[in-house]
C-alpha cells in the first residue's frame, strides 16, 4: 500500500523498490499480520524504518558536503592567505612612518611590528616560500651573469628578508655593481680578487638561505597535511543546525515506530485470546 508514496523512484535520490519489497517481505514473515489493521501497522513500522534509513543517508550527505570539497577549499584558503601575505609584504615602508599615521598614540615599534608579522608570515606557507626562493634564485642568476645584483632585485630582497635576517638582507642590499663600473666604465669587466671574494660570500649566503627555505617548505607541507587531517576529523559530524534537524526528525520517527509496534503487539495478543488491558493514557496537563 505504501510503496508508491514512500519509495523515491525517480531523480538523483532514487531508492531501490527491490530493497523496499524485501523489507516488506521480512516484516510480514516476522509479524504475520491478519486483517487490514495489523497489515497497516506492519507497513507503518516499515515506513518508519525506511525513513530512518533516510536520516542516516542525510547525515552522511551533510558530512560529505564539507569533506568532499575540503581539499579544494583548503587549497583556495592557502592560496588566498599566501597572496594576502605577499601583498602586505609589498606595502611601502614610508606609509608606516609616524607622520603618515592618524593615530599618533601607536608607537613606531608597533607599526613596524605589523610589517614584521606580515613578512614573517611569508615563511608559514608554500606560496610565500616559493616567492622568497624565486627572489634568491634570480639574485644568483644575476650574479652569475653580471657579477652583481640589479637594483630592482636588491630592493625586493631587503624588505622580504630584513625581519628574518637583517644582516643577510643588508648584505644583499650592498651586492650591487662597483661604483667605477657604473659611472666610469659601464661596459668594462672589473677583475678584482676582493670583489670576487665578496661575490662568492654573497652567493654562499644565498645558498645557505635557500637551504633554510627548503626546510621551511618541508615543515609547511607537513603542517598543511596535519591541518587538513585535523579539519577532516572535525567534519566527521554534521553542522549543529543539521544535527538538530536530523535528531528531531529521528525522534519523531522513533515515537511513531514504537507506538505502532506496541499497538500491533496488543492487537495480536488480543487476537490470540490473551487478556490485554487497554493502553494507559496519562495526561500531564495541569489539573483544574
pLDDT at 265: 92
Integer Cα distance of 183 and 201 in angstroms? 25
User: Using an 8 Å Cβ cutoff, are 64 and 239 in contact?
Assistant: no
Q: Exposed, middle or buried, 160 (CB in 10 Å: 0-12/13-18/19+)?
A: buried
pLDDT at 91: 57
pLDDT at 90: 61
pLDDT at 103: 53
Model-level pTM greater than 0.75? no
DSSP state of 279: P
Q: Determine the 3-state secondary structure of 154 from DSSP.
A: helix
User: Using an 8 Å Cβ cutoff, are 259 and 44 in contact?
Assistant: no
- Cβ contacts of residue 15 below 8 Å, gap of 6+? 7, 8, 9
- Cβ contacts of residue 249 below 8 Å, gap of 6+? 55
User: Using an 8 Å Cβ cutoff, are 122 and 132 in contact?
Assistant: yes
Question: pLDDT for 81-131, tens place per residue?
Answer: 766 666 666 655 554 455 555 555 656 666 666 667 777 777 888 888 888
pLDDT at 88: 61
pLDDT at 52: 93
Residue spans of the chain under pLDDT 70: 1-3, 82-115, 179-194, 280-288
Amino acid at each position: 500500500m505504501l510503496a508508491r508514496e514512500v519509495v523515491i523512484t525517480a531523480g538523483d535520490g532514487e531508492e531501490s523498490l527491490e530493497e523496499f519489497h524485501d523489507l516488506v517481505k521480512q516484516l510480514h514473515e516476522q509479524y504475520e499480520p491478519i486483517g487490514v489493521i495489523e497489515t497497516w501497522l506492519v507497513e507503518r513500522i516499515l515506513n518508519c524504518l525506511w525513513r530512518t534509513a533516510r536520516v542516516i543517508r542525510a547525515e552522511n550527505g551533510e558530512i560529505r558536503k564539507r569533506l568532499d570539497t575540503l581539499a579544494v577549499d583548503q587549497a583556495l584558503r592557502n592560496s588566498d592567505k599566501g597572496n594576502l601575505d605577499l601583498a602586505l609584504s609589498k606595502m611601502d615602508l614610508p606609509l608606516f612612518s609616524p607622520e603618515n599615521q592618524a593615530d599618533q598614540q601607536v608607537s613606531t615599534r608597533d607599526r613596524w611590528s605589523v610589517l614584521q608579522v606580515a613578512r614573517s608570515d611569508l615563511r608559514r606557507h608554500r606560496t610565500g616560500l616559493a616567492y622568497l626562493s624565486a627572489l634568491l634564485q634570480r639574485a644568483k642568476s644575476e650574479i652569475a651573469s653580471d657579477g652583481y645584483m640589479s637594483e630592482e632585485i636588491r630592493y625586493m630582497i631587503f624588505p622580504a628578508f630584513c625581519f628574518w635576517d637583517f644582516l643577510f638582507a643588508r648584505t644583499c642590499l650592498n651586492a650591487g655593481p662597483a661604483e667605477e663600473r657604473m659611472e666610469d666604465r659601464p661596459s668594462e669587466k672589473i677583475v678584482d680578487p676582493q670583489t670576487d671574494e665578496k661575490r662568492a660570500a654573497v652567493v654562499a649566503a644565498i645558498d645557505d638561505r635557500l637551504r633554510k627555505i627548503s626546510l621551511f617548505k618541508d615543515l609547511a607541507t607537513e603542517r598543511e597535511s596535519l591541518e587538513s587531517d585535523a579539519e577532516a576529523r572535525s567534519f566527521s559530524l554534521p553542522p549543529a543546525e543539521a544535527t538538530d534537524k536530523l535528531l528531531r526528525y529521528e525522534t519523531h520517527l522513533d515515537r511513531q515506530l514504537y507506538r505502532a509496534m506496541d499497538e500491533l503487539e496488543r492487537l495480536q495478543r488480543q487476537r490470540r485470546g490473551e487478556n490485554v488491558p487497554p493502553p494507559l493514557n496519562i495526561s500531564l496537563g495541569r489539573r483544574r
